[in-house]
Amino acid sequence: MNSFALKATALVSLLFGLVPASTAAPRSKNGILCGRPKPTNGTTSLPPTPTTTEPCVVARDAFTSQTSASPGVVPTIAASQAYECLKSVPVHKEPAIRLLDELKPFLEWQSDQAFLKDPPSDYPYPPVDIFKELETIRSNLRENKYNGELEWQEDLFKNIVGKPHNGHLAYHPDLLTVPFEWVRPWALVSVSEDGTLLPVIKVLEDAISTSERSSHVVEINGINAATFIEGRVTGSSNTQDPDAGYNTMFFSRANKVGLEARGYFESGGRERFFYPGNTTSLTFANGTRVERPNIAKFHYGPYDWTNVVDADTMHKEFCRGAYNTGSPRVAASGGKLIRRTTTPNSIYSYPKAPILLARRQDESNNIDGYPEPVLITDDHAVSGYFIDEPGFEDVAVLVILSFSSYFVSFQNTIQDFFAEAVNAGKTKLIVDLQANGGGTILQGYDTFRQIFPDIVQDGPSRWRSSSSFNALSQTFSPLCANYTPKVDYQELDHACTGVNNWRNDLNATNGRFTSYTDKFGPVTASGDSYTNYMQWDPANLVLTRQAFDTDITGYGHRKNFTRPFGGPENIVMLYDGS
Interacting residue ranges for ligand NAG, rule: CB under 6 A = 41, 43, 73-74, 80, 84, 206, 213-215, 278, 284, 286, 288, 507-509, 511-512, 514, 557, 560-561
Q: Using alpha carbons only, give the angle 443, 447, 452 rounded to the nearest 5 degrees.
A: 140
CA atoms within a 13 Å half-sphere pointing along the CA-CB vector of 576 = 26
Rg (CA), the chain: 25
Tell me how far, at minimum, the Cβ of 80 lies from ligand NAG, in Å.
3
Coil, helix or strand for 423? helix
What backbone torsions phi and psi does residue 180 show, to the nearest 5 degrees? -140, 165
Give whichever of 74 and 374 is closer to ligand NAG, judged by the CB atom: 74
Residue nearest ligand NAG by beta-carbon distance: 511
Least CB distance from residue 55 to ligand NAG, whole Å? 8
- Return d(Cα 36, Cα 40) in angstroms, integer: 12
CA-wise closest residue to 47 among 81, 89, 83? 81
Q: For residues 269 and 248, is the Cβ–Cβ distance under 8 A?
A: yes
| Of 338 and 355, CB closest to ligand NAG | 355
Residue 172 C-beta: closest distance to ligand NAG, Å:
23
CB of 103 to ligand NAG, least distance (A): 31
Least separation in angstroms between residue 13's CB and ligand NAG is: 25
- The answer for 202, left when phi > 0, alpha when psi is -120 to 50, beta otherwise, is beta
Cβ-proximal residues to 154 (8 Å cutoff; 6+ apart), any chain: 173, 176, 275
CB of 380 to ligand NAG, least distance (A): 18
Q: How many angstroms separate the CA atoms of 453 and 360, rounded? A: 35
Burial class (CB in 10 A: 0-12, 13-18, 19+), 98: middle
CB of 289 vs ligand NAG, minimal distance in Å: 9
- For residue 403, list its beta bridge partners: 439
Instruction: Compare residues 152 and 298 and give the one whose CB is closer to ligand NAG.
Output: 298
By C-beta, is 214 or 570 nearer to ligand NAG? 214
Contacts (Cβ under 8 Å, ≥6 apart) of 152: 91, 96, 137, 140, 141, 146
Question: From CA 174, how far away is CA 345, in angstroms rounded?
Answer: 12
CA distance 506 to 244: 31
Distance of closest approach, residue 391 Cβ to ligand NAG, in angstroms: 30
Judged on CB neighbours under 10 Å (0-12, 13-18, 19+), 451 is: buried
Closest separation in Å from C-beta 114 to ligand NAG: 22
CB of 64 or CB of 215, closer to ligand NAG: 215
Rounded least distance, CB 513 to ligand NAG, Å: 7
- Judged by beta carbon, residue 215 or residue 341, the one nearer ligand NAG is 215
Q: Please, which residue, 83 or 125, has the CB nearer to ligand NAG?
A: 83
- Measured CA to CA, the distance from residue 556 to residue 575 in angstroms comes to 31
Nearer to ligand NAG, 130 or 357 (CB): 357
Closest CB to ligand NAG among residues 355, 471: 355
Cβ closer to ligand NAG: 293 or 444? 293
Q: Where are the alpha helices (DSSP H) in 178-307?
A: 204-208, 225-236, 242-248, 253-258
